[in-house]
Amino acid sequence: MKILHTSDWHLGRMLYGRKRYEEFEAFLNWLAESIQKDDIDVLLIAGDIFDTSTPSNRAQALYYRFLCRIAASNCRHVIVIAGNHDSPSFLNAPKELLKALDVHVIGRTTENIEDEVLVLLDKKNIPELIVCAVPYLRDRDIRTVDAGESIEDKEQKLVDGIRHHYAAVAALAEQKRDEFDGNVPIIGMGHLFTAGGQTIDGDGVRELYVGSLAHVNSSTFPASFDYVALGHLHVPQTVGGFDHIRYCGSPVAMGFGEAKQQKSVCHIEFFHDAEKPNTAISVQRVDVPVFQKLACVKGSWESISKRILALAAMGSRVWIEVIYEGDEVIGDLRDRLDLAIADTEIEILRVKNARIIDRVLGGAQEDESLDDLDEYEVFDRCLAAHAVPDEQRPELLRAYKETLSSLYEDDIRAE
């Protein structure tokens, strides 16, 4: 049995105001062709299908057209779980319709744990795989609030809630497996941030559980899981050194910080073994082609202009971020850059004049907007502008993260 694990598409995401629909469409076309070429039986999509809870019509069209295309292929099953960027109710709305196409959508956890334990059948209607499809677990899904509880109590409840939830779905999966011949593989899915997870500046990855990241680790996932397909982190990586617990990473670079990163999906294959039937496993990363080149060009004006000239000479259709770090104060940096890329296929999406930023209170520059900053950078600017002492900043940052987390929860409740 062949399985493909992907996540974090973020359909509809823009890069400094630049729409990327052609890039997303190219990826989905490549993915559909790969599924057909490699005879993939099951596709796992581990959350953050869309970039916002209210995706555009074009982003929705890409998603549904892709699912229809896969339903018409040799791929027998598609499993979709919601991520923290997704709207649970939006994903769940066509759930019953999609089930007719063997597309199983889990937008949110329910009171019935069986909703998350899927038994997939082969062409002969014999169970071939059990998937514990756990969506992004929001705060209210996994803990209760008690009067007078401390921050430490809250953090421990979050960790315990996640662990207990996975233990419950695993126990049910094991029970179902025992009802068969006991040789059916079990796969776990999730969308969360684990301890030691690698991120990159500017990738937009949020710390999901305030204060508790150091405790969500590989031991959270029961030993009965033959593979764990995770989403949320954009860098491909294993968890705790275990080859079978993986983030496949985002398939498209979400920011210039990811420009040099090789994107991938994970190809998993279960095969027969004389000693452990159906549980022998092979896991391989499959490189995703680059559909839109990104580059970060930084340094003095001399080094920047030389790099742009070299890119132009190659006829590159690259999108670039320019970070000027030279000693000379250049007030007409943007004009110089526009002249440098004239009559080329190069497009400059962001200019950061570090020399000017250092001279302006709060680090703002004339052509910088809130679109250039994430919520944490804005908070850092506020701390700096008000000269908040360094020793006070960690506690303020903790409170700020908790406030953001509450706001995200409120957005979901308002649906």
Q: Residue 253's pLDDT is what?
A: 93
Structure confidence by residue, pLDDT tens digits, 376-385: 777 887 888 7
371 pLDDT higher than 60: no
Range of the domain at 201: 2-287
Q: Residue 214's pLDDT is what?
A: 47
What pLDDT band is residue 238 in, cutting at 50, 70 and 90? very high
Q: Residue 5's pLDDT is what?
A: 98
Same domain, residue pair 184 and 303: no
CB burial of 21-36 (b: ≥16 within 10 Å; e: otherwise) equals: bebbbbbbeebbebbe
Same domain, residue pair 55 and 196: yes
Helix axes 301-313, 333-340, angle to 10 degrees: 20
Rg of the chain in Å (alpha carbons): 23
- Phi, psi torsion values for 361, nearest 5 degrees: -60, 130
Q: Residue 410's pLDDT is what?
A: 52
Phi-psi region of 252 (alpha: psi -120 to 50; beta: other; left: phi over 0): beta
User: What is the domain-level CATH number for residue 358?
Assistant: 3.30.160.720
Structure confidence by residue, pLDDT tens digits, 62-119: 999 999 999 999 999 999 999 999 999 999 999 999 999 999 999 999 889 999 999 9
Those residues whose C-beta lies under 8 Å from the C-beta of residue 214, and which sit 6 or more positions away, are 195
CB-CB contact of 81 with 134 (8 Å):
yes
User: What is the domain-level CATH number for residue 36?
Assistant: 3.60.21.10
- Residue 392 burial (10 A CB sphere; 0-12, 13-18, 19+): exposed
Q: Residue 362's pLDDT is what?
A: 47
Q: Which of 308-317, 333-342, 387-396 has the lowest mean pLDDT?
A: 387-396
Q: Residue 360's pLDDT is what?
A: 45
The tokens describing 57, both together, are 């019509």
* Residue with the two structure tokens 């974090």: 8
CA dihedral 45, 48, 52, 55 (to 10 degrees): -10
Q: Residue 210's pLDDT is what?
A: 43
Same domain, residue pair 100 and 164: yes
Same domain, residue pair 252 and 379: no
Structure confidence by residue, pLDDT tens digits, 122-159: 888 889 999 999 999 987 777 776 676 777 777 778 88
Q: What is the mean pLDDT of the chain?
A: 85
Same domain, residue pair 338 and 274: no
- Please list the alpha-helical segments (H only) found in 202-328: 301-313
CB burial of 92-124 (b: ≥16 within 10 Å; e: otherwise) equals: beeeeebeeebbbbbbbbeeeeeebbbebeeee
226 pLDDT higher than 60: yes
Average of per-residue pLDDT across 365-375: 57
The tokens describing 199, both together, are 């991120």
**Exposure on the CB side of residue 354, measured as CA atoms within 13 A:** 12
Distance in angstroms (rounded) separating the CA atoms of residues 289 and 263: 8
- Phi, psi torsion values for 318, nearest 5 degrees: -90, 150
Structure confidence by residue, pLDDT tens digits, 208-217: 544 444 467 8
Same domain, residue pair 35 and 129: yes
Same domain, residue pair 70 and 208: yes
Which of 287, 311, 338 marks a domain boundary?
A: 287
Same domain, residue pair 71 and 210: yes
CB-CB contact of 15 with 199 (8 Å):
no
Structure confidence by residue, pLDDT tens digits, 93-103: 999 999 999 99
Q: Residue 227's pLDDT is what?
A: 96
CB-CB contact of 115 with 88 (8 Å):
no
Of 109, 84, 108, 107, nearest to 206 by C-alpha is: 84
What pLDDT band is residue 290 in, cutting at 50, 70 and 90? very high
Average of per-residue pLDDT across 235-258: 92
Of the two residues 153 and 305, the one the predictor is more confident about is 305
CB-CB contact of 157 with 127 (8 Å):
no
Which of 271, 287, 303 marks a domain boundary?
A: 287
Sign of CA dihedral 124, 125, 130, 136: positive
Which of 287, 314, 339 marks a domain boundary?
A: 287
Same domain, residue pair 278 and 315: no
Same domain, residue pair 153 and 171: yes
Domain count, the chain: 2
Same domain, residue pair 257 and 397: no
pTM: 0.84
Same domain, residue pair 237 and 377: no
198 pLDDT higher than 50: yes
CB-CB contact of 268 with 282 (8 Å):
yes
The tokens describing 206, both together, are 């949020």
- Phi, psi torsion values for 312, nearest 5 degrees: -65, -40
